[in-house]
Structure 1
Amino acid sequence: MTMTLTHARPVAIGRHLVGTGRPVHVIAEIGLNHNGDVELAKRLIDVAAAAGCQAVKFQKRTPELATPEHMKDVPRETPWGTMSYLDYRRRVEFGRDEYLEVARHADLAGLDWFASPWDEPSVAFLEEVGAVAHKVASASVTDLPLLRALAETGKPVILSTGMSTLAEIDDAVAALGGVDTGRLVILHATSSYPMPPEEANLRTIRTLADRYPGVPIGYSGHEKGLQISLAAVALGAVAVERHITLDRTMWGSDHSASLEPQGLEHLVRDIRIIEEAMGDGVKRVFPGELAPKAKLRRVLQP
């Protein structure tokens, strides 16, 4: 399996356990890349299932609460014409019927699903429609009332840490109940879209593992390509989250930093190869070396 940091107690998320000694948990973030279209969301769920992911993730907002006041009336050019930023947020938001439809589709595809609630009413909404876990978006790390509401659900929580200091993460972990709940997963992240390699700072995976002992540490990536996410796995990340899209040229803020279907398929394939290749660290002579050893080694030890 992957390089061990500190032993992380597995956290049960839906049908899977996330932690040390378990297969890397691959989360395909659909987010708002469905552009408010249930059929597009279903196609993205199918892409995630075909690639071998374990979960898909959405975002849930109450637009009137989650939209910053100074942004509400800002004009936004959209495929549906020019509208205020608040109206755009309303346009792409799924309601109860849409969530139940995509939840059923994910379940039939063998995937768990959850979402990032951006406000407290969205927590209650996601509880009502049956999310198996909750995700804290990096933008919400300092929203302590939201985090306390998530802790009160008793569900597993995945905490992204982009644009956050260690002190802010400390406060967030405390609001979520601390490191001993057995329900917390933390993801190292850098919230640049797309993220340049020099901002990846992957050694932070070790920093987080040392600071929050027993908590599974993963990686949420916003880079182009696969290399950085794969390096995160080699450094011990037990979960990897990446945005997905059908086409990076589609309209929308997250498509350009997302993986297309073939890229997602290659990511999962290569993660599984790395897991197998990491081994256990015990130096030994492998069966495949015996014939070359007999043929090539001139001096044999008794």
Structure 2
Amino acid sequence: MKLKEYLEQGKTYIIAEMSGNHGGSLEKALEIVRAAAEAGADCLKTQTYTADTLTIPARTEPFLLRSGLWDREYLYDLYEKAYTPWDWMPKIKEEAERLGMDFLSTPFDETAVEFLEGIGEEFYKIASFELVDIPLIREVARTGRPIIMSCGMGSEAEIREAVDTVFATGNHDLVLLKCCSAYPTDYQAMHLSTITDMRDQFGVPVGLSDHSEGTTADVAAVALGAAVIEKHFCISREDNTVDSAFSLSKEEFAQMVADVRNTEKALGKNLPNKGVFYGPAPEEAQSYSLRRSLFAVKDIAKGEEFTKENVRSIRPSGGLHPRYLMQLTGDGKGSAMRAARDIPFGTALAREDVAGELKG
């Protein structure tokens, strides 16, 4: 499983969420798996539910959506349209693993946990809406397998209760995901700075489950230390599947992966001391030779005073440090020092060129 390996290495783990973007076609589902692998995903995720395990076929007001992407859809109808048939899961899992990805799924009830255990699921995802389903969380935690848990809509107290439920089973393999459960999510609703606070508050790795359009939030989250990025994936938003409006295409996902990996390099996440480094870096060697130093900018005769007219701090390096300029010239506050020998124009000044002792 790449997840544990990446957490130990400090490498961002990137999940491609298929959700209902298969549009009811196994062929399209497997196409998504292959496209996600080509785009650089570390993991392919599905959701294991049926309409009946999530809700009931009621046609009353509480079951009718009144805004957003799924306005005027009844919950049961939406979930019937979006669900992934369970008999597809072994095929999807096999294809994902054949292509070098982990396979992850979100169970929504105990029957889904039992089913996923039966096909060899190695770790689990808890969805934001199930953050308050303490019995389900306990059931998943008791498998002893690692858990990635989204925290959309969750108050600090609700997240704490869910975390404590996992820990109470003896399972401490937990990753939390900052999430906003609005589809799509506006940037001002994301509150990404909470990522660092969650890591401090709960003492576990924290990542981002991102429902915003584009990839800006994902790169920002990695800069804040996100250990996991989860993003919905589709072949094309023109497919008009249930989640395609806030999903990334193969090309967009590949660009996100590249941006995340470049952000990791820029942060120095794979370097000692958590990437904290004060220069010069080896890559700066050529530039280092162009730093300022003191040069004779006129011919200076032996015994002549140094002045701002005959000595300047200029590029390149090689001469005395610029800190000595005030000592050499007196800077109007004292006697100037004198040349110990003739110094031609363009000479990098050295201590031997100065009559007397430089301080410092």
CA contact under 8 A between 2:147 and 2:175: conserved in structure 1? yes
Q: Percent identity?
A: 31
Q: How big is the alpha-carbon RMSD for the aligned residues of Structure 1 and Structure 2? A: 2.5
CA contact under 8 A between 2:35 and 2:250: conserved in structure 1? yes
Q: Which whole-Å CA distance do the structure 1 matches of 2:117 and 2:142 have between them? A: 11
Q: Which residue of 1 aligns with 2:287?
A: 292
> Structure 2: which 5+ residue stretches go unaligned?
66-72, 269-274, 295-319, 322-359
Q: 1:1-302 counterparts in 2 under 5 A?
A: 13=1, 16-19=4-7, 21-68=9-56, 70=58, 86=76, 89-90=79-80, 92-177=82-167, 181-213=171-203, 215-279=204-268, 280-299=275-294, 300-301=320-321
Work out the number of aligned pairs and report it: 283
TM superposition shift of 1:95: 3.8
CA contact under 8 A between 1:162 and 1:191: conserved in structure 2? yes
TM superposition shift of 1:63: 2.2
CA contact under 8 A between 2:58 and 2:76: conserved in structure 1? no
SS at match of 1:17: helix
SS at match of 2:241: coil
Q: Which whole-Å CA distance do the structure 2 matches of 1:297 and 1:128 have between them? A: 68
Q: Which whole-Å CA distance do the structure 2 matches of 1:133 and 1:249 have between them? A: 32
> Structure 1: which 5+ residue stretches go unaligned?
1-12, 77-82
Q: Which residue of 2 aligns with 1:4?
A: none
Change over 3 Å in CA distance of 1:65–1:293 after alignment to 2: closer
Query: What CA deviation, in whole Å up to 9, does each residue of 1:97-138 have, x standing for no partner?
Result: 311111111111111111111112111111112222110000
Change over 3 Å in CA distance of 1:292–1:233 after alignment to 2: same
Q: Which amino acid aligns with 1:281?
A: V
TM superposition shift of 1:166: 0.8
Q: Which whole-Å CA distance do the structure 1 matches of 2:75 and 2:131 have between them? A: 23
Query: What CA deviation, in whole Å up to 9, does each residue of 1:65-88 have, x standing for no partner?
Result: 312564699799xxxxxx975366
TM superposition shift of 1:293: 2.4
CA contact under 8 A between 1:48 and 1:56: conserved in structure 2? yes
Q: Which has the larger radius of gyration?
A: 2
CA contact under 8 A between 2:3 and 2:13: conserved in structure 1? no
CA contact under 8 A between 1:209 and 1:217: conserved in structure 2? yes
TM-score (normalizing by structure 1): 0.86
Between structures 1 and 2, the one with greater strand share: 1
TM superposition shift of 1:200: 1.1
Q: Which whole-Å CA distance do the structure 2 matches of 1:230 and 1:75 have between them? A: 35
Change over 3 Å in CA distance of 1:182–1:193 after alignment to 2: same
Change over 3 Å in CA distance of 1:18–1:188 after alignment to 2: farther
Q: Which amino acid aligns with 2:191?
A: N
TM-score (normalizing by structure 2): 0.73
